[in-house]
Amino acid sequence: MTARGCGVAPGWKDDPVTYTGNVTVGGTADVRELSHLVVSKLAVGPYDNNAYLLRCTRTGEQLLIDAAAEPDRLLELVGDDGLTTIVTTHAHHDHWQALAAVAEATGATTVAHEADAGDIGARIDVTVADGATITVGDVALRAVHLVGHTPGSIALVYDDPTGAPHVFTGDCLFPGGVGNTQKDAERFASLYADVSEKLFGALPDETWVYPGHGKDTTIGAERPHLQEWHDRGW
């Protein structure tokens, strides 16, 4: 597979062994090849957001998670192979600043959870609920509704048939804790409960976690700290 085939600009790295998920704003995408899916991670914008381009290896169809900022760089990442879908993980403005421009340029269908769609400042074509299936070519992603960071935050789970699962968590799970709930005890309790049940309770330790900002992690690396997060309340 060539760099162009992944819709990735020069600087593309195709060896899954070398994938780290460590990217910087202004730098190149880090690319991970799975058996049926290519994941390209790019850092964009003043808030160091992660945008993820997913490409079905058989069909070439592409899906973007969070058109956060810098539409020109995102369109360069997409390349000449087109973009079918853009999923916005939640309604906070730093996750959709480039959504309108990228959707207009590509004609992609825009998707978000029904509880957050009205607060996103761009067109949302399709709303989804917990458990919905979102496809990119032959690959199915499962939407997981996680309430607390926002009312309609979603994670996307890819159950890789040839390996460990992968989960794109938006701002709901990071290395070291759950997403920001602005010191609101009720919102924290909701997010902690959903993340504990729907992610840690459903996914094995080897699950790779791709967050909305910063470095990647795994479910196994974070699981021992769940009680610590609960006790500190953030």
Measure CA 209 to chain center. 9
Place of tokens 């760099």: 3
Q: How many CB atoms are closer than 10 A to CB 77?
A: 27
- Under 8 Å between Cβ of 171 and 212: yes
Residue type, 230: H
Res 15 pLDDT > 50: no
Tokens of 47: 């808030």
> In this model, does residue 117 exceed pLDDT 80?
yes
Segment 24-58, tens digit of pLDDT: 999 999 999 999 999 999 999 999 999 999 999 99
Percentage of the chain beyond pLDDT 70 is 93
Q: Does the pLDDT of residue 14 top 50, yes or no?
A: no
**Arithmetic mean of pLDDT over the chain:** 93
Cα distances (angstroms) measured from residue 121 to each of 44, 112, 180? 18, 12, 21
Task: Give the mean model confidence (pLDDT) for residues 157-176.
Answer: 98
State which H helix or E strand residue 194 sits in: helix 185-194
Whole-number pLDDT of residue 178:
98
**What distance in Å separates the CA atoms of residue 233 and residue 7, rounded to the nearest whole number?**
41
Buried b (16+ CB within 10 A) or exposed e, 84-123: bbbbbbbbbebbbbbbbbbbeebebbbbbbbbbbebbebe
Burial class (CB in 10 A: 0-12, 13-18, 19+), 11: exposed
How sure is the predictor about 12, in pLDDT bands with cuts at 50, 70 and 90?
very low
Question: Residue 122 contacts by C-beta under 8 Å, 6 or more apart in sequence?
Answer: 96, 99, 100, 103, 110
Question: Given its phi and psi angles, is residue 64 left (phi above 0), alpha (psi -120 to 50 degrees) or beta?
Answer: beta
Instruction: Examine the pLDDT at 195 and tell me if it is beyond 70.
Output: yes
Return the DSSP state at 4.
Answer: G
Cα 120 to Cα 116, 134, 142, 181: the distances in Å are 7, 19, 21, 19
Q: Name beta bridge partners: 54.
A: 39, 63
pLDDT digits (tens, 9 = 90+) for 136-152: 999 999 999 999 999 99
Residue pLDDT, tens place only, 57-116: 999 999 999 999 999 999 999 999 999 999 999 999 999 999 999 999 999 999 999 999
pLDDT at residue 17 in the model: 64
What pLDDT, on the 0 to 100 scale, is given for residue 18? 87
Instruction: Please tell me the distance from the alpha carbon of residue 3 to that of residue 232, in angstroms, as a whole number.
Output: 45
Enter the pTM of the model. Answer: 0.92
Instruction: Report, in angstroms and rounded to the nearest whole number, the Rg of the chain calculated over CA atoms.
Output: 16
Half-sphere exposure of 85 (CA within 13 A, CB side): 23
Class of domain 4-232: alpha beta
